[in-house]
Amino acid sequence: MQDGKHARGAGADAGATPLPRAGDRGAADYHDAADLYPQVSWLAAPDGTVQGFNRQWLEMTGFSADAPGGDSWRAAQHPADLPGLERAWRQAITSGEPLDLEHRIGTGDGRWRWMRTRARPQRDPGGRILRWYGVTEDIEPQRRARALLAGQKEALELAASGAALARVLERLARAACEQIDEDAGAAILLRDPADGLLHFAASWGLDAAYAIDFAQAAVGPDEPSCGLSAYTGEPVFVADITQDPLWTPRREQAAAHGIRACWSKPITTLAGEVVGTMALYPPTTRLPGDDELEPLRLLARAAAVVIEREREAAERALTERRLAESERRLRTVFTAIDEGYALCEMVLDDEGRPLDYRFLEVNPRFEAMTGLHDAAGRRAYEMVPTLEPHWRETYGRVALGGEPLRFENVSQVLGRWFEVFATPVEPRGRFALVFRDVSARRRAEAALLESERRFRTMADGVEAMIWVTDAGGGVEFINRAYVQFFGLDAKRLSGPGWQQILHPEDMAAYVAAFMAALQARGPFHARARARHASGVWRWLDSSATPRLDEQGRFIGHVGVSYDITELAATQLALREADRRKDRFIATLSHELRNPLAPIRNAAELLAAPALPPERRNWAAEVIKRQVGHVAALLDDLLDLSRINAGKLVLKRSLTTLGAVVEAAVEAARPLVDDGGHELRLQVPQPDTALSVDVIRLVQVLTNLLTNAAKYTDRGGRIELDAGVVDQQLVIAVRDDGIGLEAEALGSVFGMFAQVQGERDRAQGGLGIGLALVKGLVELHGGSVAVASEGRGRGSEFLVCIPLPAVAPAVAAGPAATPGAALRVLVVDDHVDAADTLAMLLRLAGHEVQVVHDATAALEAGAAFRPQVALLDIGLPGIDGHELARRVRAQAWGRSMRLVALTGWGQPGDRRRAAEAGFDEHLVKPVDPERLDAALRA
């Protein structure tokens, strides 16, 4: 043997000694017959030296029978068996006793096979041993058969005894190794249905690390032996894994465990399911022999049987556990369920009709729900003789008719309502009851019906529209107010029908909000226009709260809708007013900044030392004109505010129609001329006497004329007609300007109103001129109207003011005369305002002293003794009102003329000034003529 293999070929050392060809007659006779034996036969000398083999030796081992030498037979022996064989052979030679021994010999195909060698001596008449005759018989098939049967038997016995599956499979792996080579290794891998992989289950002849390195294997066409065999369901034999490409990923692991070849056999059940593989690892690189295939098939089949039995046992145990668990749960449920349970059998009379029923088994809830104790084994009508007959009749139909029944009924005797499920059970005549005491629910339902009746009565008694929907948004209830408002009943509003009452422009948003509330099972709120029963669209404000049942489940909404048409109109008007206010503030800011630019520029020019007198005069005029513009803006605002508050009082005086028209034309002439317009006047009776507030009426006509000039293209025509018609002063102002759209006619007299898209034509204005016109005309008891044929067709404003039946006479008033110079004290914390006012007063010839707070004013008054004091109201520390009271408390101030000079001009401001002791109240900026008049009053 070399490296565990026996050597083949001829040679002095390796060859076998042939049977002798010459010698005594016995040897020759043996030689002639030996080649005819089916076994290996051999001949040895008395001392044990082998002298030759027959031809079967060469066929079995591959050693030449013609080679000389007597010890070469040792090379064919298995290394593990050789020492024992030599000892037994020596003992036989020494004792002369026959030899009978089993051992392994290496065959020509590289395998070890078990042999039985027997030898007996041939003796001469004197008993001396002449030679030994030996026979070596191949007993490998018998040994394998015995080992196979033993392995299968032990494995099945282990399985039958309840041994672990791994132990049973290990015995089969061992039996597989015994079939091919005791030095071989074997492993069994089982397929897991959960992941589809092969997992290590048992092995024999392999080290412990194998179970770790080969713990699992994938199944597929590109996997090594076991994975491929499990995939195809066919054996896969690899003689040399170093030459097999599918083993490349695991070649190093295989080498580490001494694996050189691999024979994989699928483990297949009778149903054809591959449940695993059996892997055999022979110690040499070779394929299985024909005599090895059948044992491997039988062992794989035995493994399949064991695995199937294990599965069946596991499934049976699982089924038994589940059944036991099910029974335990059923028993637990039977005992613990809230429902009552009873197993009963019908008791029939002689004619086979239901007479009574006996309780065979009841659970604890039965007693709690019925009040019947110790009912098992007793009859119902024995326990409760007055029990209603309908119970036995109903149960009789179930038990004898074979059909289950679910129903609710009341037992007046027991004082309870029951919900019952009755079903027939075997044998015939028996039935089972599962029931609940629903008395509380019945009482709740009755209370609910009463509550709903009260709710409907209450809902029909309120003016608001009340509605109720289900969980899907369908209408369940609407009150009388809802029906009256829409003229529709609940049937016509069912499903999505309620959407038909919504305005098309509002429907999508309203429905989306409602569907979102349904989905979220939350509150709902939305506004939309809806069609009233009269066909008019009305604004509705709708709110709803989710409805929940006793278990907290959403069952719909309850809602209320209010008609808010008037409120919506008011809110719209407020938003429009707010929009106009914002536009007015922006315009006012613009209008106040416009005059500031020329005023500032003129002031800078006046500061220039080399400014010619004519330019100085021009700059002064610019300042005066722009200040007048600002003052006019403020006066208009104050007038409009007074009109709206009802605080403006007309100061009527006698004048003529011509004087009013002349004054208005004079005021509007600059703007008319700047536009290149033609102004035509028609005043047939200019001397018509009027008793009006001259300033306010001139203000009305001026606003109308300037409005016409602004909104007429350059070179246009403006007409003013004024006269008396039917005891009314009628004044018409017409132009051929841009005109008005029909929808604008009703809004031009509103606060801050300006024609949309024509702001650039306003040429400076706050949008309050026409509102002021309307207010002033109405204060005179008259009215103003506007007419236009449309865009580009001009406009006409018509003012009508009633006149008294008797025309008043107009008398001329006395002319004013200039007065003497005065001592004037100016008190204002605004230094520039105080100094510029003092300069104007000094230019008028007055003696002036200026101070900037109340304390200095009292000191200056005591020393300067002014005749007139001009006091600002908003002084720091002591305000103008308190200063006036303190001045009046001084001897030198009691007869002094006190004039309030302030930016506050409301009637309340004037009243407070008079109460503080002021003689006059002037609003900044003050016209010089008005100031002079106040000084000399």
Give the pLDDT mean for 617-628: 77
**Alpha-carbon distances, residue 151 vs 112, 155, 163, 200, 749 (angstroms):** 20, 6, 15, 20, 118
Q: How confident is the model at residue 645 (pLDDT cuts 50, 70, 90)?
A: low
> Is residue 23 pLDDT above 60, yes or no?
no
Give the pLDDT mean for 144-156: 82
> What is the reported pLDDT for 130?
93
Token pair for 483: 């029906």
Q: How confident is the model at residue 60 (pLDDT cuts 50, 70, 90)?
A: confident
> What is the reported pLDDT for 653?
87
The vertex-56 CA angle with 50 and 60, nearest 5°, equals 95
Helix (H, G, I), strand (E, B) or coil at 859: helix
The whole-angstrom separation of Cα 772 and Cα 698 is 12
Q: Exposed/middle/buried for 886, CB within 10 Å: 0-12, 13-18, 19+?
A: middle
Higher pLDDT, 818 or 702: 702
> What is the reported pLDDT for 757?
45
Higher pLDDT, 676 or 550: 676
The whole-angstrom separation of Cα 239 and Cα 249 is 17
The whole-angstrom separation of Cα 87 and Cα 92 is 9
- Neighbour-count burial for 101-112, b at 16+ CB within 10 Å, e otherwise: bebbbbbeeebb
> What is the reported pLDDT for 640?
61
User: Which range has the top average pLDDT, 1-15, 468-482, 725-739, 826-840?
Assistant: 725-739
Q: How confident is the model at residue 139 (pLDDT cuts 50, 70, 90)?
A: confident
Q: How confident is the model at residue 762 (pLDDT cuts 50, 70, 90)?
A: very low
> Is residue 665 pLDDT above 80, yes or no?
yes
Condensed to tens digits (0 to 9), the pLDDT of residues 264-298 reads: 999 999 889 999 999 999 998 999 988 888 888 88
Q: What does pTM read for this prediction?
A: 0.36
**Alpha-carbon distances, residue 829 vs 82, 834, 850, 881, 935 (angstroms):** 138, 8, 10, 14, 21
Helix (H, G, I), strand (E, B) or coil at 196: coil
Long-range contacts of 213-219 (CB under 8 A, 24+ apart): 213/253, 213/256, 213/257, 214/187, 214/189, 214/250, 214/253, 216/189, 217/189, 219/191
Higher pLDDT, 438 or 631: 438
> What is the reported pLDDT for 811?
43
Condensed to tens digits (0 to 9), the pLDDT of residues 380-403 reads: 999 999 999 999 999 999 999 989
> What is the reported pLDDT for 20?
41
Q: How many CB atoms lie within 10 A of CB 211?
A: 14
> What is the reported pLDDT for 639?
65
The amino acid occupying position 527 is: R
Average pLDDT, the chain: 83
Q: Which helix (H) or strand (E) holds 861?
A: helix 854-864
The whole-angstrom separation of Cα 906 and Cα 925 is 15
**Alpha-carbon distances, residue 780 vs 648, 657, 783, 785, 797 (angstroms):** 11, 15, 9, 15, 17
Higher pLDDT, 640 or 259: 259
Question: HEC profile for 587-606?
Answer: HHHHHHHHHHHHHHHHHHHH
Give the pLDDT mean for 887-900: 91
> Is residue 756 pLDDT above 70, yes or no?
no
Give the pLDDT mean for 880-897: 92
- Neighbour-count burial for 703-719, b at 16+ CB within 10 Å, e otherwise: bbbbbbbbbbeeebebb
Lowest mean pLDDT among 309-318, 351-360, 792-801: 309-318
The vertex-23 CA angle with 20 and 26, nearest 5°, equals 85
The whole-angstrom separation of Cα 878 and Cα 887 is 12
Q: How many CB atoms lie within 10 A of CB 876?
A: 9
Lowest mean pLDDT among 111-125, 478-492, 790-804: 478-492
In percent, how much of the chain has pLDDT > 90?
38
> What is the reported pLDDT for 29?
59
> What is the reported pLDDT for 199?
94
> Is residue 858 pLDDT above 70, yes or no?
yes
The phi and psi torsions of 611 (rounded to 5 degrees) equal -70, 125
Q: How confident is the model at residue 815 (pLDDT cuts 50, 70, 90)?
A: very low
> What is the reported pLDDT for 156?
83
User: Which range has the top average pLDDT, 107-111, 696-700, 781-785?
Assistant: 781-785
Residue bearing tokens 């000398």: 45
Condensed to tens digits (0 to 9), the pLDDT of residues 527-569 reads: 999 899 888 999 999 999 999 888 889 999 989 988 888 888 8
Give the pLDDT mean for 113-134: 92
Cα Rg of the chain, angstroms: 65
Q: How many residues does the structure list for the chain?
A: 937
> Is residue 804 pLDDT above 90, yes or no?
no
